[in-house]
Each structure stands twice: as C-alpha cells, then as structure tokens.
Structure 1
Amino acid sequence: MDDAAAVEAANARFYTAFETGDLDLMHEVWADGDYAEGVTCVHPGWALLRGRGEVLRSWALIMANTAYIQFVLTGVHTEVRGDYAILTCEENILTADKDEEGFLAGGSVVTTKVFVRDEGQWRLWVHHGSPVLDGMRDDGSD
C-alpha cells in the first residue's frame, strides 16, 4: 500500500470509530507519545481543543450523545510529504436523534486533517471541521 492509500485507510478508521461509537478505536486513531501535546481538534462550531486528553474527552462526549451518524465522503484529496500528510474532504452527514423516532437530519462539513507517521503508523494529529452553509457551491460563491 502506498503512503496516500495508507493515510486514507487511517482516515477511514477515524470514521469507523465515530460511526460505531468505538472509543478504543478512536484512541488508536489519534497521535500519541511525542505528538500528544500537539494533538489539535476543532469540531464544527466549537472552540479549539489542544492535547490528546482534551481531544479524546470531546470524542467520548460526542459519541455518548450520538444515537446514529453516517458519513459519505466526497472530494477526498491526500498529499503526503515525508512523515506528514494532509487530507481534505467533504463530509456529507446523516444523523438521527434517539428521542425522535424516524427523525433524520443531514448536513455537510469540510475537513482538513493532518496525519503524522509515528513508528510506521499514520495517526491523526490535527482535525478541523467547518460546516458548509446551504446553497454554497464548491467555488465558494452562492
């Protein structure tokens, strides 16, 4: 597997962890060791979170309060530079509320992720998600 494919596989593990609420897998996805202090995450609409512990606590909270979520990724672009990689994509999201039977909501978020190769494994180091406003086209105009 080439580096770009390996980064995309690591990215897929991130979404599998989120969709299945697998906190153990989410822990495996994120960088640790020398990179732990620099782990950074911006959830759509949230303030910046810094440090592996703070970021993983946020995922535990989100996953505990998400009854159902599914992602369809589009526009995936991966660029690898040595031991670092940047992956950008659009998340097309379906989610449901456990309190309202049959309720589904959707939306889109654009994400930028930085992966780092640590001991031969690609691990997520930085994640930033921004919501896409309704009616916005790919070129940024409305």
Structure 2
Amino acid sequence: MNVDTVDVETVNQAFYTAIEEADIDKMHEIWATDSENLQVSCVHPGWPMLIGRSEVMRSWALLMANTPYIQFVLTDVRTAVFGDVAVLTCAENILTAGDAGESSFAAGKVVASNTFIRTAEGWRLWLHHSSPVMQAEDGEAG
C-alpha cells in the first residue's frame, strides 16, 4: 500500500467519523471546494443527485440533525489512485437508532463509491455515491 492510498483511506475514515459524530465542521473540511471545472456531488440512498458544495453540505446538515445515532463498519474497502484522483469503494454496514426516546435499532448495508481529488490542502472528497443492498429474505439465497 502506498502513501497516497493510506492518505485517501485516512480521509475516508474521517468522513464516516464526521457522520457518526454529527460534526458538520469536519464534514466541511473533508469535501472539496467547487470551482469552475469541479463541482462536488453526492447521492444518498434513495435521493436524487445533489450537485454543488452548498447543496451537498445542506444535505449532511439535515441528515446529521435528524439522526440520533449512526455507526458505520466498513468492509470490502478497495482503493485505487490515478494521479490526482482516487476512487475508494466499500460496503457500509450501518447500525442506526430510532427516534430520540426509542430503544429500537436497525441495521442495513449500503455500497458506496467515494471519489477524492488531490488539492493543495490534501485529499478532498469530490463525489460520494451510496446505494442500498437488497437483503435476502429468510430462506432465500443471497
């Protein structure tokens, strides 16, 4: 594993930690800044594509404000670096809690592609695209 791969995976982990900790300031640091040639984009499961930093940041603020608890266990992490662009794919194994005051938990699996771009400040998230994985019913083949 080369230095770039380690650096990308470190930023990727910081991204998920920011979600878990509802740290919008950290989220702002992780995402790239829009420019004439580059607009960040994000696809949350079941959402339309969000384009532009302000729209993406607004979505994270809404999700964080309305999620009492979330935890990610990442598996199947694969990272490839192509010059100043890196692509990381993974499975997000997610545990969430019900609304405040409830003691219910739900688990789910989402696959994600995170594309990073190297900037003067280091690797920054350019595109996050996540999609739910259909879970087999009991007795069905997966």
Q: Residue 114 of structure 1 aligns with which residue?
A: 115
Distance (whole Å) between structure 2 residues aligned to residue 93 and residue 6 of structure 1: 23
User: How many positions carry a matched residue from both structures?
Assistant: 138
Distance (whole Å) between structure 2 residues aligned to residue 43 and residue 111 of structure 1: 9
Any unmatched runs of 5+ in structure 1? none
Q: Residue 53 of structure 2 aligns with which residue?
A: 52
Show CA shifts across 1:62-116 (max 9, x none).
0000000000000000000100000000000000023352210000000001100
Distance (whole Å) between structure 2 residues aligned to residue 7 and residue 73 of structure 1: 14
Q: Residue 10 of structure 2 aligns with which residue?
A: 9
Q: CA RMSD in A?
A: 1.8
Any unmatched runs of 5+ in structure 2? none
Q: Larger deviation: 16-25 or 36-45?
A: 36-45
Shift in Å at residue 135 of structure 1? Answer: 2.0
Is the helix fraction higher in 1 or 2? 1
Normalising by structure 1, what TM-score?
A: 0.91
Show CA shifts across 1:3-22 (max 9, x none).
00000000011011100000
Normalising by structure 2, what TM-score?
A: 0.91
Q: Alignment identity in percent? A: 54
Shift in Å at residue 33 of structure 1? Answer: 4.8
Contact persistence 1:109–1:132 (CA under 8 A):
yes
Distance (whole Å) between structure 1 residues aligned to residue 53 and residue 37 of structure 2: 5
Q: Flag as ranges the 4+ runs of structure 1 deviating above 3 A.
A: none
